[in-house]
Amino acid sequence: MATLDINEIKEILPHRFPFLLFDRIVECEAERIVGLKNVTFNEPFFQGHFPDFPVMPGVLIVEAMAQTAGILVLKSIEDRASKLVLLVAVENARFRRPVVPGDTLRLEMTLLKRKATVAKMAGIATVDGQIVAEAEMMCKLADKDEKPATQV
């Protein structure tokens, strides 16, 4: 599985518009994956962030990185339809420059450690070869029917 289009991505991830935040996988290896997001002025978040200076929110860049990582985690699991990849930690997040309409966001995620249900990844987001964001994140593989912990 070296490349995936949006329909193949939707077969693996449960995310849908407006929260599926990347368009294509262009590289996929055992411990590394690269996704692309074509950032357009029509993104729903640009209506309020910011109307006179549209900037993609940093948290959504991190989410796009996490979704790309989710493909890497789920692609090798046979029963992936019954699983979710949940983001459990984000560390060392840095934002270097704004991402604006017209940019193509390149999301590169590399596996650092993996255990049975937990994976730690490092990611770099670039536009035109310049780093716009970077972060380390940890995700947990969970059963879809697993009940979330009650919050107080």
> Known catalytic residues?
49
Classified as helix, coil or strand, 12 is helix
Q: Please state the separation of Cα 8 from the chain's center in Å.
A: 15
The pair of structure tokens assigned to 16 is 């849908």
One-character DSSP codes across 93-120: EEE-S---TT-EEEEEEEEEEE-SSEEE
Strand partners, 89: 138
Q: How many CB atoms lie within 10 A of CB 86?
A: 15
